[in-house]
Structure 1
Amino acid sequence: MNSEDSLYKDFQEKPSQEMLVDKLTKEIEANFNNDQLGVDNLAKAVGMSRSNLHRKLHKIAGISTSQFIREYRLKRALEILKEEDITASETAYRVGFSSATYFNTCFNKFYGFTPGEIKSRNSEEIEKLVRAESLTIGKNKTNKRVLWAVLFAVSLLTAIFYFYTSDKKGNGASNTSESIIDAKSIAVLPFKNLTGKPDLDYVSDGMTDAVISRLTKISAIGKVIPFTSTLSYKKTEKTIEEIAAELGVSTLLQGNLQISGNRIKINLQLINATTSEHLWSKEYARDWKTDEIFKMQTEVVEGIAANMNAIIAQDELADIQKIPTKNKQAYTYYLQGEFQRQKGNELSYSNAISLYEKAIAADSNFVEPYIDMANIWHMGGSVWGFYDEQMAWGNAKILLEQALQIEPANQRVEEELNTGSFFYDWNFELVEKFYQNILSNSVHDKPSVISLDYPIKTGRPKETLKAIERFIINDPSNVFSPFFKAEAMFYLGSTDEAIEILTQTDPLYNDNWFYLRESTKLYFYLGEYEKSKIQLEKITTQFPDYPPILMWLNAIYTQMDGNSKVRIQYFAELQNEYDKGSSGSPAWFIALYYAHIKDYEKTFEWLQKSYERHEVEMTWLREEPLLAPVRNDSRYKDLYEKVGFSSIGLPIKASSKN
């Protein structure tokens, strides 16, 4: 399709776009004084998903759905204030604002003057505003058609300009990094602990994480970098510009925390990342009481949003204002537990579990400790190999079921349950339904095992690449993105590109246990043995935890080097882990060792043991490269059926030559 055809098609779409705007405005009018009307309600009313409605509306009007709702209410408020003798507070509630103060703030931001100034403004000026706004709220269809014509003309001129300028550059797709950064994007750097007490880092980190969590609920802010990605900048000498460029954001928030007696104070600065200009600064102080702390967190988020010109939808505001617990001690235990969980080792996990249990004992309706403790059991039983796998999954399921009783629609609970169902239960049919829901619903906008790992293990690496493209926009520094991209490229046969991705990424994650572990394995499959050995050396010298996957790699490399004495030692360690009933899938890795030396009788003997133990690494059965030569073997086919790949219609991959 050439550019003229594309523009014609775009013009043909205008009537349907006009109909969508009409539907939306009618729905808002029908629920005009309902302050609970939100994006989800509007999407359901027009028969679309939340994400699809957002995309279509953004294409039509250049604004989010929540902003559309808010601006419509403000435009109607202007008409009411002009025509009727009514107070600003009465108007606020009449047009669907539950807070008169928030209405005044939004009105002033939108029009440049307060509702109370309406009567003193020039009547001709107000009349022009009303006439202008009527174009976009469905009162005059003739005017709306004029508006579409203007938009079409602008589109045509833009396309012509783009064609000539891109032709001169030789590559219309090449943009500067500044041009692709979302104007409403933010990274909240870890608040500095200025209490003079390092043991209170859990408070400053907890406050940072809480602010980030609330900001993610605002759809008008295009990108909010997760706490796990900003945590690496806790102690950094990098400049604002460098950090912003690495994270791909336009705005940074810096802050510090102080505590005096029972009083907590935070000082914040919002900074334009491009110019280093200070956009806003404020000090907040409250008593150390849970309701006070959560109110402060809400005020902080509202202040950030207002100064980023990001409108908060009414349903989003209710979510932001939510108080997870009113128990001060429960919240303190929870923050301490989170601080320990982020360290990611066996001792810190044990400490975190104890603290989460105390938080639940203090407030049994506080849902977050249930979910995060379940995550520890899950990760400790699968990735880390700290706990017996089935015991870990059993503990996690109990906690998640308890969390569902408190919050039946909690998305994090759903994610954890399906991840566990995949690894521990091999329930492919259940997980496939959840996975398809993720594909069709961009509410799931954060990287997860199901969105990245599951499609690779079920032979769909291209879908992993698509997910990464979506996630990397929101969080370019996330460790999962480059690794899973490299892994997907490997399974697509693009080995050179996979090696290049890892080589470029290695310096960034020299101290990340997950990245070192996974890149060690992937380099091995790529035939980059020396690079694999370097990664293996880094992980074994930096971290005390030594799961079976590392014993397997050590055994393989000593075998390749001809060092039979040391190889026997490493292999004995692996065998000992199996004999002890340890997690971390020792039987699976013994099977892979035998597959590597082409002893396929032993390979199947240990695969059967891995199956009987229900080891989580059996989820790799379909895609494991070392098993490619035996895929035609009846024993392999039998295991393939038993694990459950066939239940979702996945055929066995073609076998490679021995």
Structure 2
Amino acid sequence: MSHEPNIEDSFIDQIETIILENLCNEQFGVSELAETMNMSRSNLLRKIKKTTALSASQFIRQVRLKKSMQMLQETQLTVSEISYQVGFGSISYFIKCFREYYGHPPGEVGKGTLVEEKEPVQTHYFKRHQRQIIATSTLFLVLVISFFIFSKKETTKAVEIEKSIAVLPFKNESNNSSNLYFVNGLMESALNNLQKIEDLRVISRTSVEKYRHTNKSIPEIAEELDVNYLVEGSGQRVGDRVLLNIQLIDASTDTPIWVKQYNQKVVDVFDLQNEVAKKIADAIKAKVTAFEMEQIDKKPTENLLAYDYYLQALDPYNTRTMEGLEEAISLFEKAVEEDSQFALAYAYIAFSYYYIDLFQKQKQYTELINNNADKALLYNAKSAESLIAKAVYYMHIKEYRLALPHLEKALEYNPNSSAVVNMLSSLYANYIPNTAKYLTYALKGIQLDIAANDSITKSYIYLNLSNALIQNGFTEEASKYIDESLNYSPNNYFAPYVKAYILYARHRDIEQTKKALMLELQKDTTRLDILQEVAKLHYYQEDYDTAFLYYEKFVEARIESDLDIYPHEDIKIGLVYEKMGLDEKASEFFTSYADFCENDESIYKSVSVAALYAHEGKIDEAIEQLKVFATKSNYQYWLLLFMKMDPVFKPLKNHPEFNNVMQKIDERFWENHSQLKNTLEDQGLIK
């Protein structure tokens, strides 16, 4: 019998060695392991999954936990010391993982009853003689079926390629330029149908539009868009017939894997669009559920003239200019005149009015947005567009929590909707704070909007992602993307501001941060966001004289412009004014802050109230509020960085429970951070 090393065992041994070499580095995860192994992340994930039946992040955690057990048995180190030495930033999270894996907490190791390492249910490889028994025995087939499938199919099953696809702008083959809207409509319909399939990752229309007149090759486009398949099409409308040439291309080989020429009557255009989506999904073996098939088969309207008006409206609508939107509304309204139950047209009327009103101080079209959204839902409640229309109405009237369920349901109907993903990212960033969801949707958004049309848009996409990363404590990743943002647009208005704080998170150098922000303030002295940040940094250093100079300018500008901004900062401003002997004015800020706390519905309410109680001398009540906050999840990293140095909390520092509750807040954050990192790695959102 051969005693040559098993290839899978050798692979596992190799990655275990690498993990152990980087054991104390909490940031050493799947991406770092893949880089060290000189493998792509996807190949590493696939191979670990095949060999161990674990995700890569689970396997890394397993190696850390096994080493922790060995250290508990063989050394005199404390649980806390071992936790950090095996790469867990949070002791509580380490204890939780240890208990889940071994069935008992680490503190019980060595007490006489639980000293032996417990073999987990899932092991990363079987011993060689066990493999041989499995290979020759059918008696235990049921028990080892999962192992049997993985080991036996390896030689015959091809490596599964990610089902990522981009639909390039279709070409108008007619000499009549007025025919272009119809060809564009065919392209948009093909895109929309594919977006309804959750098993696909479909790049947004805005990302592919830049390739309408490109000379780039298929492999170049695919690399830029990070997709494995591209759809090309050309067509025209001739009288009552549609002529369409379409092909699905495997980007890795630049060869078509499905080609079709259509010559059908216009009355059959919906059947044509639906068949294209089904044929493409079938060609790349995408799973299409019965509900997704039902959504694809559903005709938007039976009235072809109404549909023609709708297609004509899309081009001006996509300009997002005032003139374009007004032209689009006129055409969408003609569509609903022809078909009074045309839900899709009603939804786009609502969108158009929403965009017209978006930056207007005095809103004019609130009722029109609502009425058209309601009609869209009335005639098709299972349409992503109908749900988005109602969501934008709620966003328009600032009822953000009411928008959430509509957007989340819309994402079920259209899992590849970059519009929905970006709206959710914005809501969780700004209006319903949840740092984990903010980052998750920001990462999904960048996958769908991977190649925005211009460098400025790209810069802001990377800025948003960087901001989401730093809020969750992913400092190195945030630093990478903020640099990308500035590379695309050095004049990005907000990127230097975010970069200054990312650098603070890395180096904890408050003087460096102040200098960086002052440079931005010198470029534009009217920037109230920077003005209050500079004031706040001086406040943290208890340099109240200088803080007052900047806060005073900020307050004057806020009053002059009648702006209701940064109400959560009023307690800091009040404290500075109090230190300057301006008690009456300070009292106004404290009253304003108390009103803010009363109306605050965010996860930060308890910590805000704690600050108020601390200032009022209600020490025990303040500590109780901090205890409440210590149970919350997904709060911003900035709290950890600045809370302990905030002068408003100084009266609490002598309380016997203060340090303990602050440690719990810290541990809770890093526990959330570790869990989020594992989830994002498993979903393939962090590379």
TM-score by length of 1: 0.55
Identical columns (%): 21
Q: Mark the CA change 1:600 to 1:358 in structure 2 (over 3 Å): closer, same or farther.
A: same
Distance 2:323 2:235 in 1: 27
Decide whether the 8 Å contact of 1:324 with 1:367 is kept in 2: yes
SS at the partner of 2:213? coil
Aligned positions of 1:49-68 closer than 5 A: none
CA contact (8 A) 2:422 2:442 kept: no
Alpha-carbon offset, residue 280 of structure 1: 1.9
Moved more, 438-447 or 424-433: 438-447
Gaps of 5+ in 2: 1-7, 13-48, 54-136, 453-457, 502-517, 529-547, 576-588, 609-638, 649-687
1:253 aligns with 2:209: no
**Aligned position for 2:97:** none
- How far, CA to CA, are the matches of 1:203 and 1:286 in structure 2? 14
In the alignment, structure 1 residue 188 sits paired with structure 2 residue 149? no
Letter in structure 1 aligned against 2:230: L
1:146 alignment partner, SS class: coil
CA distance in 2, matches of 1:526, 1:419: 31
In the alignment, residue 601 of structure 1 is paired with which amino acid? Answer: V
The match for 1:242 among 220, 229, 232 is 220
Deviation at 1:198, TM superposition (A): 3.1
Which residue is equivalent to 1:327?
A: 303
Give yes or no for the alignment of 1:461 onto 2:435.
yes
Q: 1:137-182 CA distances to partner (integer Å, 9 max, x unpaired)?
A: xxxxx999726524224557999xxxxxxxxxxxxxxxxxx98950
Q: 2:590 aligns with which of 605, 609, 634?
A: 634
- Match among 188, 210, 213 for residue 192 of structure 2: 213
Distance of 1:438 and 1:258 partners within structure 2: 32
Q: 2:270 aligns with which of 291, 294, 298?
A: 294
Deviation of the 1:211 alpha carbon: 0.5
Residue 562 of structure 1: how far off its partner (Å): 8.9
Is the 2:201–2:448 Cα contact (8 Å) retained in structure 1?
yes
Distance 1:562 1:188, change over 3 A: closer
Distance, in Å, in 2 between the alignment partners of 1:243 and 1:400 is 37
Between 367-376 and 266-275, the greater mean CA deviation after superposition: 367-376
Contact 2:225 2:450 in 1 (8 A): yes
By how many angstroms is 1:461 displaced?
2.8
**Cα pair 2:353 2:368 within 8 Å, conserved:** yes
What is the alpha-carbon distance in structure 1 between the residues aligned to residue 472 and residue 446 of structure 2? 20
Aligned to 1:401: 374
Task: Tell me which residue corresponds to 2:484.
Answer: 504
2:255 paired residue number: 277
- How far 1:321 moved relative to its partner? 1.7
What is the CA deviation profile of residues 397-430 of structure 1, one whole-angstrom value per residue up to 9, with x for unaligned ones? 1211121211234333333433442x44333553
Distance across 1 between alignment mates of 2:249 and 2:567: 49
| 2-structure distance, mates of 1:331, 1:427 | 33
Which residue pairs with 2:147 in the alignment? 152
1:254 CA drift (Å): 0.7
2-structure distance, mates of 1:228, 1:427: 28
1:410 aligns to 2:383 (yes or no): yes
2:321 pairs with 1:345:
yes
Q: How does 1:126-141 map to 2 (within 5 A)?
A: none
Q: Which amino acid aligns with 1:521?
A: F
Tell me the SS of whatever aligns to 1:190. Answer: coil
Counterpart residue number, 1:427: 399
Matched, 1:390 2:390: no
Q: Give structure 1 stretches of 5+ with no counterpart.
A: 8-57, 63-141, 160-177, 511-515, 529-555, 572-593, 612-617
SS of equivalent residue, structure 2 residue 468: helix
Alpha-carbon separation, structure 2, partners of 1:144 and 1:471: 49
Q: In 1, are the aligned partners of 2:190 and 2:273 still within 8 Å (CA)?
A: yes
User: SS state of the match for residue 326, structure 1?
Assistant: coil
Please state whether the residue corresponding to 2:373 is helix, strand or coil. helix
Change (3 A) 1:432 1:558: closer
Q: CA RMSD in A?
A: 4.6
Distance 2:387 2:151 in 1: 46
Q: Which residue of structure 2 lines up, in the alignment, with residue 363 of structure 1?
A: 339
Q: CA deviation at 1:627?
A: 7.7
Counterpart Cα distance in 2 of 1:231 and 1:598: 48
Q: Which amino acid aligns with 2:339?
A: D
Counterpart of 2:244 in 1: which secondary structure?
Answer: strand
Evaluate the alpha carbon distance shift between residue 606 and residue 369 of structure 1 in structure 2; reply closer, same or farther with a 3 A threshold. Answer: farther
Q: Distance in 2 between matches of 1:650 and 1:257?
A: 60
1:244 aligned partner, one-letter code: A
CA distance in 1, matches of 2:139, 2:293: 31
| CA shift digits 1:274-321 (9 cap, x unpaired) | 0112212111122233xx111111122222223223354443333212
- Give me the whole-angstrom Cα distance separating, in 1, the residues matched to 2:323 and 2:315: 13
Q: Deviations over 1:217-254 (max 9, x none)?
A: 234x4222222221121121221112112222211111
Tell me if the contact between 2:195 and 2:415 (Cα under 8 Å) persists in the aligned partners: no
- Partners of 2:343 and 2:379 within 8 A in 1: yes
TM norm structure 2: 0.53
| Per-residue deviation, 1:388 | 4.8
Residue by residue over 1:126-146, the C-alpha shift from the partner in whole angstroms, topping out at 9 and shown as x without a partner, is: xxxxxxxxxxxxxxxx99972
Does residue 466 of structure 2 align to residue 486 of structure 1?
Answer: yes
1:336 pairs with 2:312: yes
1:354 aligns with 2:330: yes
Give the counterpart letter for 2:232 in structure 1. Q
User: Partners of 1:157 and 1:630 in 2: how far apart?
Assistant: 68
Please tell me whether residue 227 in structure 1 is matched to residue 205 in structure 2: yes
